[in-house]
Each structure stands twice: as C-alpha cells, then as structure tokens.
Structure 1
Amino acid sequence: MDREQEEMQFLGLFGIFKESFKIIISWRKIFTQITLTLILPLTFIYLAHLEISNLLFRDIIHTEYEQEVTRPGTKRYNKLSDTLSSEWITFILFKFVYFTLLLILSLMSTAAVVYTIASVYTVRELTFKKVMSVVPTVWKRLMVTFLCTFAGFFAYNFLAVLVFTIFVVVLPYNTFGVVMLYVILIIYVIGFVYMTVIWQLASVVSVLESSYGFRAMKKTKDLIKGNHAIAISIFFLLNMSFILVQFSFEVFVVHGSSLGAMKRIWLGMLCLILLLSLSLFELVIQTILYLVCKSYHHENIDKAGLSDHLESYLGDYEPLSCKDVQLEQYHV
C-alpha cells in the first residue's frame, strides 16, 4: 500500500474505491487465486440457487394448483398431498444446504481477503498457501461474530414487528396513521442498514484485532463515528449494484426462456463475472474503510504488533492480548 496510515483519513468515497482497485491490481495474482478458490464457488452457488429455487417453487405451485382442482378424499388428491409435502421438504432442505454453504464460503472469503490486505499493509511475506492455512483459524472468530450479529438482527426484527403491530392496532386508519407507519418503516430501514454496516466492519475487526463477537461489534460502533455517511454510501452503492445484477439474472436467465439457451448462458456468465468482481471489491473496500476509520480517529496501527497478531494464526506466536493488538493514538 502506497499511502501512509495518517493519510488514509483524507480518502473520501471515491478515494476508497480507487485505493481498493489499486490494491487488487497490484496483488492481482493472489487475489485471483482467492477469487477462483473461494469467491467463484460462492458466486456460482448464489446464482445457481436462484435458478434451482425457481424450478422447485414452480413445481410446488403446479402441484398446489392440481390439488385445488381435484376433489378432496380421492386417491389422486391424496397422492398430490404426498407429492406436495415431499416437494416442500425438498425445497426447505435445499435452502438449508444453500444457506450453510453460503455462510461458510462467505466467512472464508472474508478471512482470506482481510488477512491478505493486512499482510500487504505490514509488508509480510505473502503466499496463497499461507493465506489458505490461516483461513480455518480466522473463520472460527468470524463465525462467533456472525452468530452475535445474527442474535442482534433477530432481536431487532422481533422488536420491529412488535412495535409495528402495536402501531397498526393503535393508530387510526387515516392519512395520519399511514404517514406514521411509513415513518416507522423508514426508521426500521435506517436501523437495518446501520446494523449491516456494523456487521461488515466487525468482521474486519475480528480478523485484525483480538476482539470478536459482541466486543467487535461494540468496537465497530465506536469506529465508524464520523464516517457514517461514507460507510452507508458504500453500502448502498455496492448493494444496489448487487440487486441490479441479481435482477438482470432473474429476468434474462431464470425467466428468460424466450431468449434461447445460448443467450441465457452468455448472460448468465456475464452476471457471474459481475457478481464475482463485486464480491471481491466489497471485501477489499471493507478493509480499506476500516483503515480509513482508524486514521480518522488518529489511531496508529502498530505494524509490528499487527504482524505478530497475524502470525499467531499460523501457530508461531501466542495470540496477543487485547492491549497488545490495540491501536495506539497519534497526534496530528
């Protein structure tokens, strides 16, 4: 990385994007290896799940329709009921396997990319083999952080549903009531986006510092103070790009049978490449945003301490205590 950490705080939205792109290009060999090994299967599974889910759900809808037009109690009706139950079980099991694989590959990709950028930052010897040997250890920390975040999202959504239900019952059904419900919905979306940003940066903290789980989330909450606008802008730009690619895939590939097989294949490959690039770009940006936030709060990363912390994942050093890995203050 060409920039000193003190300079990172001056990177704006486009500066972060530019710095991320420069790192990927400068270290394209190892990022290509990480992409082909982890991010490509992740992206392929994501897109394949859209196609398979559509096929499975279409069979369920067809069976439900057939059952509706069949007289109850007949042999055909009972057979359709058994078929429908089997199709729903298949659909649920498929979703379970999909989300499990998605979670594992997502956390492994995060571990590999964040560790790689940290190694570049500390000027450590870096090989693909070393990165992959570290991933299983870092993955455990990321899993704890994910489970804590999942608990936070569950509590947040439960409270949101409870509040929304209360307001639906209490508020009058008029213009004022409708406006208030929209206000509540907007507040919910803002909170959801904020928690998502916290989760993404907490994943970086879990790799680069000794904190993980709820401690990493608390540290991230303090870390993004003063950079909320940039963090949320990055979230919206990347997620809108993801949504656009997914929408295109569903329209032209999943539901685009009229286009012909070859066009659907080429469009599917294009969507795969776009999502592949966006996924790698997002993971790199998250780490650069972490460095920008640290620089903004005038916290200087002790490169030697961070290097030892990274080395501890390989088993050559004892894991550092919290104070050893913490970033020291510098004054400008």
Structure 2
Amino acid sequence: MDREQEEIQFLGFFGILKESITIVSSWRKIFTQITLALILPLSFIYLAHIQISELLFSKIMLNEFILDRTAEGTRTHDRISGALSSEWTAFFLFKIGYFVFFIVLSLLSTSAVVYTIACIYTAKEIAFKKVMSVVPKVWKRLVVTFIWNFVIVFAYNVASLIALFLGAVLFGSVPVIGTLFLILFGVCYFVGFFYITIVWHLATVVSVLEESYGLNAMAKSQALIKGKMWVSFAVFFVVGVFFFGIQLIFEFLVVVGGDGEGVGARVGFGIFCLVLMSIWMLFGLITQTIIYFVCKSYHHENIDKSSLADHLGGYLGEYVPLKSKDVQLEQFEV
C-alpha cells in the first residue's frame, strides 16, 4: 500500500489483483501465520463438510431406495424407517454444526486479514500475537453485520420465491413465455444475489475500519461500491470462479472420483486442494480489502492514517475512541 491515495482510485481489475499479490509477497510471514491459525482450519472444515455430507447423504439415499422396495408393516420396513429418521436428524445437525463453525472461523479470518492490511497501510507495528488479541473484539462487530446480511438474504429469497410463484401462475400455461420468464428470473436472481454478496464482503471491511457496523455498514458499503461496480463485479466473479473451481476439483478427485483411486492418492489430492483453497481464501480476503481502499479513493474520501491508526489501536485499548466526525474519512480534492 505504498501508492498515493489519489492513485489508488485508478486501480482496475489487474491493478487490484497485482496489489493483492504484492501485499502477500511483502508480508509473507504474518499472512502465513494467519493462514495456518485461521484460514487453513476454515478451508479444512469447508472441504471436510463436502466429503462427510456426501457420505451421509449417499447412505440416506440408499436406505430410501431400499425402503421404497420393502413392504409396509414389516419389521424390516420399520427398522429402515427408524434408521432413516436418525440419519436425517444426524445430517441436519451436522449441517447446522458446520454452518456455525464455518461462520465463526470465516469472520475471525476476515477480522485478522482486514486488521493486518490496515496496520500495514498505517505503518503500525504488527505482530501475529497482536493480531490474534484484536480479532475477538473485531469479530463481535462482524457478527452484527453478518446477522443483518442474513436477514437481507432471507428477505431477498422470500421475495424471489413469491415472484417465481406469481410468474408460474401468470405464465405457466404458455410454455414459450413461461420458459422466457424462468430464464429472465434466473439471470435477475443471480445478479441480485451476487450484488448482495459483494455489498456484504465490503461491509465486513467497513465494520473493521470504521465506526459503522451492522445495517449501517451495509448501507455504507452500498454507497462505496457505486462507480466501481464493474471492477468489483469482475474481481469478485474471478475469485468466486476459482473458489468453486477448487471445490469441483476436490469433488472430482477426492469425493466422487475417489472411488477409483487409492487411499494415498485421495489423501494427496485432498492435501493439494486444502492448500490451494487456503491460499485462495487468503487472496480473496485481501482483494476485498483493496477494493475498499479503491472505492474510498474513488469517492475522494481521504483516509487520515493517524486517525485510522488510533481507531485500530482502540481495539487494544490504546486510546479512547474518537467521535465519528474525527475518525470519519474527510473529503479531498483531486
């Protein structure tokens, strides 16, 4: 982050990616420590959940198949039915447990990476122990922001289901129009969902680096992204494509294709995907922080490094938090 603030606004797609790579290479030690402590476990939980879900669901489907071909009222039918109830319960409890642990580690990782980059930007002394002591305090703010994002996504999905239902009622009787409606609905839904995802990721950075969090951080993020929409879309799209690409490789080589491979090969592929996923998750967190600084610069909001340093120090109790007018970013003229 050695660039002048006026220059940051001109970073495009490749500039943001290059800046992210430069930060990682310049501060390898601290980011390696953060990755091993938080992001590696996060990646392991994510990939392990895919494998375990596949095993549990395959067993459930097999018992469902057997149950459909077993006469009702027999002892075998009752036994399989009882086993299925237990298996479905275990499956949903596992999903809930995974979701909780994934969100916790994801927010902790976000806190650590964003705080670290902000310290680099303000030239504050930074050490892994210091970062880890700050993370729990920053994490509390991110939880509030996450809850609001969850509410927004839930409301968006409910509204989408209502729109889909009304569309099916109005156009379902006309195949051609119905098909066009489904295509248009699908495109609009995924664009809207992707937009909410971008706003959420940027809001996590706002929650760490500014006083705003929760719904205020979401609103601030939405305002910041204006003017840099296409660049943000492109960066997050590429990050998302590579993320799901790694997931597909894992599923093909370890989960699905693993039946034809030896244990050693599956373990090797699994470790390879784990390392690749960890690196890419770190890269994704760094890029979203860079996008935040790009958006701030684009809107001519000059970040006072001393005020930001004081704000960051507040997580360690180094100062009495400044008021919004003191911490908030001031306008500058280009």
TM-score (norm 1): 0.98
Pick aligned residue for 1:282 from 274, 281, 284: 284
**Alignment-mate amino acid for residue 218 of structure 1:** A
Pairwise CA RMSD of aligned residues?
1.0
State the 1:317 CA deviation: 1.7
Moved more, 126-135 or 62-71: 62-71
- Structure 2 counterpart of 1:25: 25
Measured in 2, the distance between the counterparts of 1:311 and 1:32 equals 23
What is residue 189 of structure 2 aligned with on the other side? 188
Check conservation: 1:34, 1:113, Cα contact below 8 A: yes
Between the aligned partners of 1:55 and 1:175, the Cα distance in structure 2 is 40
CA distance in 1, matches of 2:85, 2:179: 39
Aligned counterparts of 1:167 and 1:156: Cα–Cα separation in 2: 16
Residue 179 of structure 1 pairs with residue 168 of structure 2: no
The AA in structure 1 aligned to 2:151 is A
Q: Displacement of 1:152 after TM fit? A: 0.4
Distance 2:228 2:304 in 1: 22
Structure 2 spans left out of the alignment, 5+ residues: none
Amino acid at match of 2:100: T
Deviation for aligned residue 1:188: 1.3
1:226 equivalent in structure 2? 227
Q: How does 1:21-170 map to 2 (within 5 A)?
A: 21-170=21-170
Aligned to 1:294: 296
CA distance in 2, matches of 1:219, 1:321: 17
Identity of aligned residues (%): 54
User: Aligned-pair distance for 1:92?
Assistant: 0.8
Aligned residues: 332
Q: How far apart in 1 are the matches of 2:19 and 2:40?
A: 23
SS at match of 1:72: coil
CA distance in 1, matches of 2:108, 2:326: 25
Query: In the alignment, what sits opposite 1:251?
Result: 252
User: Counterparts of 1:107 and 1:27 in 2: how far apart (Å)?
Assistant: 21
2:277 partner amino acid: L
Secondary structure of the equivalent of 1:123? coil
CA deviation after TM superposition for structure 1 residue 286, in Å: 0.6
Deviations 1:92-142 (A, max 9, x none): 111111001000000000000000000000110101111000000000000
| 2:11 aligned with 1:5 | no
Partner Cα separation in structure 2 for residue 42 and residue 286 of structure 1: 18
CA–CA distance in 2 between the matches of 1:27 and 1:82? 55
Corresponding residue number in structure 1 for 2:216: 215
1:13: Cα distance to partner?
0.5
**SS of alignment partner, residue 255 of structure 1:** helix
Is the contact between residue 149 and residue 199 of structure 1 (CA under 8 Å) also seen in structure 2?
yes
Aligned pair partner of 2:262 in 260, 263, 267 = 260
Q: Kindly state the Cα deviation for residue 68 of structure 1 after the two structures are TM-superposed.
A: 1.6
Question: How far apart, CA to CA, are the structure 2 residues paired with 1:104 and 1:324?
Answer: 31
Check conservation: 1:197, 1:235, Cα contact below 8 A.
Answer: yes
- Superposed displacement of residue 9, structure 1: 0.7
Q: Say if 1:211 and 1:322, in contact at 8 Å, map to a contact too.
A: no
Are the equivalent residues in 2 in contact too, given 1:210–1:320 (CA < 8 A)? no
Q: Structure 1: how far apart are the matches of 2:99 and 2:319?
A: 34
Deviation, structure 1 residue 69: 1.7
d(CA) in 2 for partners of 1:187, 1:70: 44
- 3-state DSSP of counterpart to 2:219: helix
TM norm structure 2: 0.97
Q: Which amino acid aligns with 1:175?
A: V
Structure 2 counterparts to residues 187-206 of structure 1, below 5 A = 187-206=188-207
Amino acid at match of 1:217: M
Distance 1:56 1:180 in 2: 36
Structure 1 distance, partners of 2:90, 2:160, is: 31
- SS of the residue 2:297 aligns to: helix
Q: Please state if 1:323 is matched with 2:322.
A: no
CA deviations over 1:190-238 (Å, ceiling 9, x no partner): 1111100000000000000000011001111110111000111111101
Query: Contact conserved, 1:56 with 1:91, CA < 8 A, in 2?
Result: yes
SS of 1:246's partner is helix
Q: Distance in 2 between the 1:91 and 1:101 partners?
A: 16
State the Cα distance separating 1:319 from its structure 2 match. Answer: 2.5
Deviations 1:12-36 (A, max 9, x none): 1011001111111111100000000
Distance 2:84 2:177 in 1: 44
